[in-house]
Chain A
Amino acid sequence: MSIAPLTPILTATWDAPRSWKLDTYRSANGYAGATRALRMPAAQVIDEVKASGLRGRGGAGFPTGTKWSFVPAAPGQPKYLVVNCDESEPGTCKDMPLLMASPHLVVEGAIIAGYAIGAHRVFIYIRGEVVHVLRRVQQAVAEAYQAGLLGPRTMGVEYPLDITVHAGAGAYICGEETALLDSLEGRRGQPRSRPPFPAVAGLYGQPTVVNNCETIASLPAILARGAAWYAQFGTEQSKGATIYSLSGHVRFPGQFEAPFGTTARTLLELAGGIREGHKLKFFTPGGSSTPLFTEEQLDVPLSYEAVADAGSMLGTKALQFFDETTSVLRTTRRWMEFYAAESCGKCTPCREGSWWLRQLVARLEEGRGKEGDVERILDICGNVSGKTFCPLADGFVAMVTSAVRQFRSEFEAGYRRPASELFPYERSAVFKSATSAVASRTTRGGEAR
């Protein structure tokens, strides 16, 4: 299998010196897309984005242009664009490097999207813990204001547009668009009941579009080079290119921008393969909320439709690879700890189900499981799945059930033996320092490898 070419669009200038500065960005044809968009009727911008086939990069893959067209025209009524940069799922790490390297992509994209939907106020909602990213985006927005790109006359055109950069308070659930809106309004971040949908009544009850950071960042190229150019990449239903985040037991983890439909095998090769002397055990195709794949699915084209057909989700395209040293109970427990901590607590199945599952998985990992725990886990997952307010619980249910289905014997081994005996944890560690640290903590009998 030949290696498909990388398609650096979003990542094109990441290695440029001071790539985050306005000058750097401009010298690479920056703000050409917004310049073109602002001279088109807004409806035409939406059509162009529709034609490009751009789909939301937050995980659900909803067509972006279609989402915009749900916003009622209603002249005079305030409308808002919110850029969702609350990236916090385990394994997902595309938006933060993007914002560090090319914040102006998001500023320009926000101008295009804001203009398209008729919004004069854009909020960039950034995960609160990543202060360095927050500062970088704040500076980029300040630069844009200073250069006259934002304000009463956006890029010299009679269209006022302001961008507010807002730091979240550090909650995974605020990546869910309606919880994000509540958080942005100063409330406790919890998903809202729908309908009404944000496009009709979102931020402060006004029509609002919430787009993922990468979605917005994809707009400048589409507008600068045209929908047809963009649509040439990817597959029929998943057009364009995207950032794949490879992490875990690979030789060169990182961001790889390639067309939709690229296989995990190709990406894995680009990342230098599984670390030396080891072989792949399982991987997530789209972050911790997506059902696990194994070697058998390495050749599934990474498009929304093909991954779904193969029983998982493309999600945020966060491919975490795990080799044969890894205990699936250990990963499941770690992820479950995450979801139990990040469940917003609003609805019963997620709040109580995550509490219960965490305890069951934990005791299996520790070798204290009871006969029937595996069936119980599957049954609880069934009672949670599809019954919750928002998809957070569906994410952990998908993760847990796929882990049990594919590695059931490992779970059942947890009735008798701790996972750390079957899979000595220090063997999974990548870094030497971590190896010794893990060994000293977990190895019985003091024998470190």
Chain B
Amino acid sequence: MSVDPTASPKQITLTIDGIQVSVAQGTTVLRAAEQAGVFIPRFCDHPLLKPLGACRQCMVEVPDAGNGRPLKLQTSCTLEVAEGMKVATQATSELAADTQAGVMELLLVNHPLDCPECDKAGECPLQNQAMLSPRQVSRFDGVKRTWPKPVPVTPTVMLDQERCIGCQRCTRFSAEISGDPLFVMLGRGAETHLAICPDAGSGGYFAGNAVQLCPVGALTSSDYRFQARPFELISTQSTCDGCAAGCQLRVDVKNGRVVRRLAGDDPSHNDEWLCDRGRYGFRSTQAADRLRTPLLRVDGQLVEVSWPEALDAAAKGLRGLTGSQVAVLPGGRLTLENAYAYARFAHTVLLTNNIDYRGRAFSDEETKFLAREQAGRTPAQLVDYAALERAKRVVLVCFEPEEESPMVFLRLRRAVRRSGLQVLAVAPYLSAGSRKLGAKLIACAPGEEAQSLTALGHTIDRDTVLLVGERAATAAGALKRAVDVTTASGAKLAWIPRRPGELAAIVAGCLPTLLPGGRAVTDAGARADLMAEWHVAKLPTSVGYDLAGIAVAANAGEVRAIVTGALDLRDLPDAGLMREALERTFVVSLEVRRSEVVQYADVVFPVAASDEQDGTFIDWTHSRRPVNAALSDQATPPDVRVLAAISQALGSNLGFHTTAAALASYDALSRWFPNQQMLPAITAADPPPSVPGNAILASWRQLVDDAAILDGATALRDAAPAAVARMSQATAAATGLNDGAIAQIGAGGTWWRGPVQVTPGMVDGVVWVPTLSDTATHGRLNALPGERVILTKRGISLAGSLRGGDGA
């Protein structure tokens, strides 16, 4: 298909119910009617799915097809507009109105009258349109078909077949959008029903969209089922905190508690889709370990105290410590406002550059990359979702879109299907997600991504977009090479982290080398500019410690106090060292739940979760995404407020107390054009030290895993993909393993045990395990991708104790 996307489509003028409207060629009459302000009832039609014409609810009369001749009754959802066409909808045509009333009566023939107990009632297109229909009492007095119900389709989706009206939105979503088999239509006539695909498994990561798409209550979510009535809900439009994709969502609150999340509607980002992580991952803040009051360590025990007591204690512990004696670890889940507050708190109140938001594996190469390539990005350099669709080729480097940024995955899949986008995956094997993108594997052992990029040569050209994931920090030289090849070829480069707060933290200055707006801490001009903006007399001048440096310095006694935001120690490359560091220092923790960090803290402040505060996320495209509080009157203030209060207790001034003021302060900063000379050039990091081992570790996070944010989302966790160890046939054979056998992988005294899944086409000598999936069963490796690990056969079978992890 050679459609020039830049050419504006031809405009077609037609008349609908006497209203003249001009629309793009190829538009359906139903959509043209919407533009003319005429609503035509419909069920199977959906703007993001191909027309089907199955429900027949949208039939209209066409007195003139544009050629002077009438058409027989038409489904307006499948009929394309034509110049001069005249359409009469139910508003002006008795025939159309009668037809629609007739179809409605037929739709209800087999639909159960169970609205009083149906989740959909109150927000149900069938119910709403039936209420508008002239016939309020059905003439059908026969036997309705019945089905066993409800049928669990996946752990998250329930099917009530009796309510199904056969619109096929769910089956079309599977085929056209997600690529995950879920349902097929089976049977004939009125016995036509949804059958669960034999290979549906746990439904993939997008099954929740089928529930949201269902125009009746046939598909319900096991999580929301019977939880609320639509009239009890207070809905708020916000931005998902599940990853850095920036998806718009709707948060539904009942009685002061979030009960549901739905996809919003934003064509620039997520269209009307949401992944299941975003959809169901809101229960963790409702957990019993949620913090509601400040805590203070008294005689070794954390006890609940008042806010003034906690603030006094924090101030007492921090007072007098500055520069290299203190450190700030804000974490990667913050809004721009909160990140900016941490940055300003570090730079102006604690006078330190020991600040690093990265609670994950990183490298010095990445620090330089983020400063040069992310903090000061100009609009011309930016890549957004639309740019992915315009590209001819996308190269994935250290990035699995379906696992690490599902909305990017959906957009890529759309581009692959619509415009023939070619996807190249630089990876150790072709993942399920990559297969759904029709991607070509550029086989590469972890750590050799830089060489693979070089080898791609002229394949990377002006029409190419490189998508680099945060895991590139573990592949020495990959980030530098990515920048080099894109600069040389004119290709575009986008860095896509997993956590929602990464970009905000970078631009706000939560790195040891950066001040807000891409200003280098070592740039005297930048400092002078910022001192004027902030009305402060001084700023620290030398590069601070990064997260690893902070841990070392704390253990060496140099850093004596640490202020932390939401940090998950499991995600750190050297959690043991950090635990010791937290043990030795005075720790002030701003947390949502009693996390592991809280166990080491001296003072703990409860802070608002993202559902409970306003703010701004910055997604991977660098665009601002509004976060709106779905819940109010919480005892938990945003981090901004707590940091301002601590500053005040320290006799200092953060410059703002509220989220709105923080944003205003950030926005008041003059736009800074970073002096590239002042930013250190990117240099390739050292490869990992050589340790003994017979395999190279490949690993990434699966979308649904042991992430703290998913705690409480039990159905979703049940739908998580099984944890397996992937390796090639040769690698397995070399270790005496075969498919389904239990492998044991060791590194640095830690172990991972689980079933082998022999993966065709995988690079030999590499073993892949998920980073944080069902660790209670499988254990967790203290090793980074690219490092050597010991792969052995486990003599005693653990199969009996594996939950869903049997690859057989």
Q: Please report A residues at the B interface, Cβ cutoff 8 Å.
A: 171, 173, 188, 190, 193, 340-349, 351-356, 359-360, 363, 370, 376, 380, 382-384, 386-389
Contact B190 A349 (CB under 8 A): no
B501 located at the interface, meaning its Cβ lies under 8 Å from any Cβ of chain A in the complex: no
A-chain residues with CB within 8 Å of residue B105 when the two chains form the complex: 383
Mask, B711-731, CB within 8 Å of A = 1, is 000000000000000000000
**A344-B53 CB under 8 A given contacts A356-B140, A383-B103, A387-B103:** no
Chain B, residue nearest A372 (CB): B139
Contact B184 A355 (CB under 8 A): no
Contact B188 A355 (CB under 8 A): no
A-chain residues with CB within 8 Å of residue B141 when the two chains form the complex: 370
B-chain residues with CB within 8 Å of residue A354 when the two chains form the complex: 189-190
A-chain residues with CB within 8 Å of residue B189 when the two chains form the complex: 340-345, 351, 354-355
Contact A348 B142 (CB under 8 A): no
What is the CA–CA distance of A341 and B189 in the complex, to the nearest angstrom?
Answer: 6
Q: Determine which of B102, B142, B192 lies in contact with A387 in the assembled complex, contact meaning CB atoms within 8 Å.
A: B102
Chain A, residue nearest B191 (CB): A345
Q: Which 5 residue pairs of A and B lie closest in terms of their CB atoms, listed nearest first? A: A345-B192, A383-B102, A355-B190, A359-B142, A352-B106
Contact B99 A387 (CB under 8 A): yes
**A348-B99 CB under 8 A given contacts A340-B190, A342-B188, A354-B190:** no
B52 located at the interface, meaning its Cβ lies under 8 Å from any Cβ of chain A in the complex: yes
A-chain residues with CB within 8 Å of residue B625 when the two chains form the complex: none
Q: Determine which of A193, A340, A342 lies in contact with B78 in the assembled complex, contact meaning CB atoms within 8 Å.
A: A193
What is the CA–CA distance of A429 and B143 in the complex, to the nearest angstrom?
Answer: 31
Mask, B88-103, CB within 8 Å of A = 1, is 0000000000110011
**A347-B56 CB under 8 A given contacts A352-B106, A356-B106, A383-B102:** yes
25 A-B residue pairs with Cβ-Cβ distance under 8 Å, sorted by A, are A171-B188, A188-B186, A190-B185, A341-B188, A341-B189, A344-B189, A345-B185, A345-B189, A345-B192, A346-B166, A347-B56, A348-B54, A348-B57, A348-B103, A352-B107, A354-B189, A355-B109, A355-B190, A383-B102, A383-B103, A384-B102, A386-B72, A387-B59, A387-B73, A389-B54
B-chain residues with CB within 8 Å of residue A355 when the two chains form the complex: 109-110, 145, 189-190
Which among A171, A343, A352, A387 has the highest number of chain B CB atoms within 10 Å?
A: A352
What is the CA–CA distance of A344 and B143 in the complex, to the nearest angstrom?
Answer: 20
B187 located at the interface, meaning its Cβ lies under 8 Å from any Cβ of chain A in the complex: yes
B802 located at the interface, meaning its Cβ lies under 8 Å from any Cβ of chain A in the complex: no
A-chain residues with CB within 8 Å of residue B185 when the two chains form the complex: 188, 190, 345-346
8 further A-B contacts with Cβ under 8 Å, apart from A346-B185, A352-B110, are A173-B188, A345-B191, A347-B53, A348-B166, A352-B190, A376-B139, A387-B56, A387-B103
B-chain residues with CB within 8 Å of residue A388 when the two chains form the complex: 56
B552 located at the interface, meaning its Cβ lies under 8 Å from any Cβ of chain A in the complex: no
The A/B interface has a contact count, at CB < 8 Å, of: 100
Mask, B178-202, CB within 8 Å of A = 1, is 0000001111111110000000000
What is the CA–CA distance of A173 and B187 in the complex, to the nearest angstrom?
Answer: 13
Query: Interface residue count for B (Cβ, 8 Å)?
Result: 37
Mask, B141-184, CB within 8 Å of A = 1, is 11101000000000000000000011000000000000000001
Chain B nearest CB from A184 CB (Å) reads 18
Q: Determine which of A171, A342, A349 lies in contact with B106 in the assembled complex, contact meaning CB atoms within 8 Å.
A: A349
Chain B nearest CB from A53 CB (Å) reads 26
Contact A193 B99 (CB under 8 A): no
B543 located at the interface, meaning its Cβ lies under 8 Å from any Cβ of chain A in the complex: no
**A349-B53 CB under 8 A given contacts A343-B188, A386-B72, A387-B73:** no
Contact B102 A356 (CB under 8 A): no
What is the CA–CA distance of A370 and B166 in the complex, to the nearest angstrom?
Answer: 30
Chain B nearest CB from A166 CB (Å) reads 20
What is the CA–CA distance of A411 and B57 in the complex, to the nearest angstrom?
Answer: 31
Contact A349 B188 (CB under 8 A): no
Chain B nearest CB from A190 CB (Å) reads 8
B233 located at the interface, meaning its Cβ lies under 8 Å from any Cβ of chain A in the complex: no
Contact A348 B188 (CB under 8 A): no
Contact B56 A349 (CB under 8 A): yes
Q: Determine which of B57, B102, B110 lies in contact with A382 in the assembled complex, contact meaning CB atoms within 8 Å.
A: B102
B residues 42-71 touching A (CB-CB < 8 Å): 51-57, 59
Chain A, residue nearest B107 (CB): A348
Chain B, residue nearest A383 (CB): B102
A-chain residues with CB within 8 Å of residue B145 when the two chains form the complex: 355
**A351-B59 CB under 8 A given contacts A346-B166, A356-B106, A383-B105:** no
B-chain residues with CB within 8 Å of residue A356 when the two chains form the complex: 106, 109, 140, 142
Chain B, residue nearest A345 (CB): B192
Which among A171, A173, A346, A389 has the highest number of chain B CB atoms within 10 Å?
A: A346
Q: Determine which of B54, B98, B186, B187 lies in contact with A347 in the assembled complex, contact meaning CB atoms within 8 Å.
A: B54
Chain A nearest CB from B194 CB (Å) reads 11
A-chain residues with CB within 8 Å of residue B107 when the two chains form the complex: 348, 352
What is the CA–CA distance of A343 and B145 in the complex, to the nearest angstrom?
Answer: 15
Q: Determine which of A171, A345, A383 lies in contact with B190 in the assembled complex, contact meaning CB atoms within 8 Å.
A: A345
What is the CA–CA distance of A360 and B109 in the complex, to the nearest angstrom?
Answer: 13
Chain B nearest CB from A60 CB (Å) reads 15
Chain A nearest CB from B440 CB (Å) reads 24
What is the CA–CA distance of A354 and B184 in the complex, to the nearest angstrom?
Answer: 22
What is the CA–CA distance of A344 and B188 in the complex, to the nearest angstrom?
Answer: 5
What is the CA–CA distance of A273 and B143 in the complex, to the nearest angstrom?
Answer: 42
Which among A173, A342, A359 has the highest number of chain B CB atoms within 10 Å?
A: A359
Chain A nearest CB from B807 CB (Å) reads 29
Contact A347 B99 (CB under 8 A): no
Chain B, residue nearest A171 (CB): B188
Which among B55, B106, B186, B191 has the highest number of chain A CB atoms within 10 Å?
A: B106
Contact A383 B139 (CB under 8 A): no
Which among A188, A190, A384, A387 has the highest number of chain B CB atoms within 10 Å?
A: A387
A-chain residues with CB within 8 Å of residue B143 when the two chains form the complex: 359
B-chain residues with CB within 8 Å of residue A173 when the two chains form the complex: 188
Contact A345 B166 (CB under 8 A): yes
**A347-B102 CB under 8 A given contacts A193-B78, A340-B189, A342-B189:** no
B-chain residues with CB within 8 Å of residue A349 when the two chains form the complex: 56, 102-103, 106
What is the CA–CA distance of A352 and B55 in the complex, to the nearest angstrom?
Answer: 11
Chain B nearest CB from A17 CB (Å) reads 42
Contact B78 A351 (CB under 8 A): no
A-chain residues with CB within 8 Å of residue B139 when the two chains form the complex: 376
What is the CA–CA distance of A340 and B191 in the complex, to the nearest angstrom?
Answer: 9
Contact A347 B192 (CB under 8 A): no
Chain A, residue nearest B100 (CB): A387
**A389-B190 CB under 8 A given contacts A359-B142, A383-B102:** no
A-chain residues with CB within 8 Å of residue B103 when the two chains form the complex: 348-349, 383, 387
B-chain residues with CB within 8 Å of residue A363 when the two chains form the complex: 142
Chain B nearest CB from A380 CB (Å) reads 8
B residues 183-239 touching A (CB-CB < 8 Å): 184-192
Mask, B736-747, CB within 8 Å of A = 1, is 000000000000
Chain B, residue nearest A194 (CB): B78
Chain A nearest CB from B566 CB (Å) reads 49
Chain A nearest CB from B393 CB (Å) reads 25
What is the CA–CA distance of A75 and B580 in the complex, to the nearest angstrom?
Answer: 76
Contact A389 B53 (CB under 8 A): yes
Chain B, residue nearest A359 (CB): B142
Q: Determine which of B57, B73, B190, B192 lies in contact with A386 in the assembled complex, contact meaning CB atoms within 8 Å.
A: B73
A-chain residues with CB within 8 Å of residue B140 when the two chains form the complex: 356
B-chain residues with CB within 8 Å of residue A347 when the two chains form the complex: 53-56
What is the CA–CA distance of A348 and B143 in the complex, to the nearest angstrom?
Answer: 17
Contact A346 B190 (CB under 8 A): no
Chain B, residue nearest A195 (CB): B80
Contact A351 B73 (CB under 8 A): no
A-chain residues with CB within 8 Å of residue B109 when the two chains form the complex: 352, 355-356
Contact B56 A348 (CB under 8 A): yes
Chain A nearest CB from B110 CB (Å) reads 6
A-chain residues with CB within 8 Å of residue B188 when the two chains form the complex: 171, 173, 341-345
Chain B nearest CB from A99 CB (Å) reads 25
Contact A348 B190 (CB under 8 A): no
Chain A nearest CB from B168 CB (Å) reads 8
